[in-house]
Amino acid sequence: MLWLTTERGVVAYAPASKEGPKRFTRHDGLVSEQFQPNACMMACDGRIYLGTTSGFCTFYPNLLKTNHRMPPVYVTSLEVLNHEQLTPDGLPLQFLLDEELSFSYSDARMISFSFAALSYCSPEKNQYAYMLEGFDNDWNYVDNQQKATYTNLPAGSYTFRVKATNNDGIWSDHEAAVRIVVYPPFWWSWYAKLFYLLLLAGAIWYYVHLRLKREENRHQRELLVTFLSTVYSDQASPATESPDPTTGTEDHEFLARMNQVIEENFSNPDLNVKFLAEKLNISRSGLFAKIKTLADVTPNEMIQIVRLKKAARLLKEGGRPVSEVCYMVGFSSPSYFSKCFQKQFGVTPGTFGSSGDDGE
C-alpha cells in the first residue's frame, strides 16, 4: 500500500487492489490537507505520522476499514417555482412510494427536489446521482450536490429516482423514487385535441365539398355553353349539334329566347337581371329560380357566359383587337374581360384569337 500526500489530502493506493485509490480529506479527520515536504514517518509499530502546515496527523493503516454499509436515500423536500411545498400544518411533505404528485403546466416551469443519504461517517463525502425517467436518458452524477432542478417539463408522467454512496464511494441499492404527473394546458388537453381533430375533419369535408361543388358548377356551365352554342351559333362543332336531351322543349325555347335577348343587347348598359326579366315577361325571382334549375347558374352568370361566347366568335372571325371585342360584348374593363375569358375557356383572349380555337 502506498500512502501519498498531495495538495488535496492523502491518497491510499494499492496497485494489486481492484477498488482503486482512496482519498482522505479533512472530512476524514485530517487537521489539514496541505503537507510539508519530507515530513513523514512510520513508527516501529506500523503507525504513520504525516506533518501538515497545521500540525501532524497519525493513524494505523491496518485499522482503516472500508465502509461497506449501503445507506438509504430519501427525498427530503420539494420546491415549486422556488417555493418549498409544505403540509397544511407547515411541516415538510412526506414522499411515499405509493403516492403521486400532480403539477399544472405552469407549476412545471421549475420543480426542485432535495435529497439526502443516511450515512453519517463523513456525510460530506457522500455522492449522489439522480434521473427523471421519461425525461433524462441516463443518470446525472453530481458528486455531493443534494438538489435537482427541472424546468419547463412537458406534459406527461415521470418518476424521479435518486441514489447515493457512503463515505467510501460504495453505491447503495436503496433508491428513492417519486412519481409525478404534469398536466397539459387547456389548449393541449385531450378535449382540446378532439376539438382540433373535429375542426380539421370539418375543414377537409368543407374543402372536398367545395371542390365537388365547383366541379359540378363547371360541368353545368360547360353544358350550358355547349347548349347555347348549339342553338345560336352556326360555328358549333359536330359533337354539339343537338341540344341537351335532359332539357325539355319549353325550357329549350326559354333559353333560346333569353340568349336572343342578351345577344341583341350586348352593348346596352342597362342589360341586367331586371332588364332581362322584363323582356322575358317573368319576375326577377322567377328568372333566378328557372335559370338556377336549368343550368345551376345565376342570371348574371348566364349573361356573362353568353357575352363571352359572343366574344369567342368575334375573336375567331379575326380582324378586331381584344379591347374592341371587350367593349362590343358589354365589358367595361379589358383586364376584367381577359380574366373572365381565361376562366371560362382556359386561355387568354389574345391566345384564343391567334390560335383560331373556338373554345367549345
The model's pLDDT over 95-127, given as tens digits with 9 standing for 90+, comes to 766 678 889 888 889 999 999 999 888 888 899
Place of cell 480529506: 25
pLDDT band at 235 (very low <50, low <70, confident <90, very high): very low
CATH number at residue 212: 1.10.10.60
Residue 197 lies in a domain: no
Residue 179's CB is within 10 A of a number of other CB atoms, namely 16
Task: Kindly state the average pLDDT of the residues 6-26.
Answer: 85
pLDDT at 242: 41
**Does a structural domain hold residue 360?**
no
Q: How far is CA 316 from CA 235, 266, 325, 330, 354, in A?
A: 10, 18, 11, 18, 8
Please state, rounded to an integer, the average pLDDT across all residues of the chain: 82
What is the C-alpha separation between 284 and 153, in angstroms, rounded?
65
Q: Residue 4 and residue 341: Cα distance in Å, rounded?
A: 97
Q: Is residue 276 part of a domain?
A: yes
Q: Assess whether pLDDT exceeds 60 at residue 240.
A: no
Q: How confident is the model at residue 200 (pLDDT cuts 50, 70, 90)?
A: very high
pLDDT above 50: residue 292: yes
User: What's the pLDDT at 236?
Assistant: 37
Please state whether the predicted TM-score (pTM) of the whole model is above 0.85. no
Nearest in space to 232 (alpha carbons), one of 197, 256, 200: 256
> 176 and 91 in one domain?
yes
Q: Name the domain boundary from 129, 159, 188.
A: 188
Domain boundary among the residues 33, 63, 93 is at 63
Report the percent of the chain where pLDDT is more than 90.
Answer: 28
- Contact between residue 114 and residue 146 where contact means Cβ atoms under 8 Å apart: yes
Provide the pLDDT for residue 221.
Answer: 62
Summarize the confidence of residues 261-278 as an average pLDDT.
76
Cell numbers standing for residue 338: 381577359
> Can you give the residue range of the structural domain that contains 180?
73-188
Structural element, H or E, at residue 51: strand 48-52
Residue 90 maps to a domain:
yes
Domain count, the chain: 3
73 burial class (0-12, 13-18, 19+ CB within 10 angstroms)? buried
Q: Among the three residues 119, 153, 188, which one is the final residue of a domain in this structure?
A: 188
Task: Answer yes or no: is 84 within a domain.
Answer: yes
Cβ 240 vs Cβ 209: under 8 Å: no
pLDDT bracket for residue 208 (50, 70, 90): very high
